[in-house]
Amino acid sequence: MNLLSKKQKLLLVDDDAIFVEIAKRTIEKTGAVESLQVFPDGEGAISFLKEHKSEPDIIPDFIFLDINMPFMDGWQFLDEYANFVNSLIKKPAIYMVSSSVDDSDLRRAKEIPLVRDYIIKPVSLDSFKKILNNEAI
> CA–CA separation, 70 vs 57, rounded Å?
29
What pLDDT was estimated at residue 80?
96
Evaluated on CA atoms 78, 90, 25, 118, the torsion sign reads positive
| Position 1 in a domain | no
| Position 52 in a domain | yes
Q: Is the pLDDT of residue 136 over 60?
A: no
CATH code, domain carrying 82: 3.40.50.2300
Tens digits of per-residue pLDDT, 95-127?
999 988 888 989 999 999 999 999 999 899 999
| Position 83 in a domain | yes
Answer whether 32's CB lies under 8 Å from 4's CB: yes
Residue 106's domain comprises: 8-133
Tens digits of per-residue pLDDT, 28-37?
998 889 999 9
| Position 3 in a domain | no
Tens digits of per-residue pLDDT, 66-87?
998 888 999 999 999 999 999 9
- List the strands of the sheet with 93-98, edge to edge: 33-39, 8-13, 62-65, 93-98, 115-120
Q: Is the pLDDT of residue 89 over 70?
A: yes
Residues whose CB is less than 8 angstroms from the CB of residue 33 and which lie 6 or more positions away in sequence, other chains included: 7, 8, 9, 10, 27, 132
| Position 2 in a domain | no
Domain count across the chain: 1
Look at 99 and 13; give whichever has higher pLDDT.
13
| CA neighbours closer than 13 Å in the CB half-sphere of residue 68 | 10
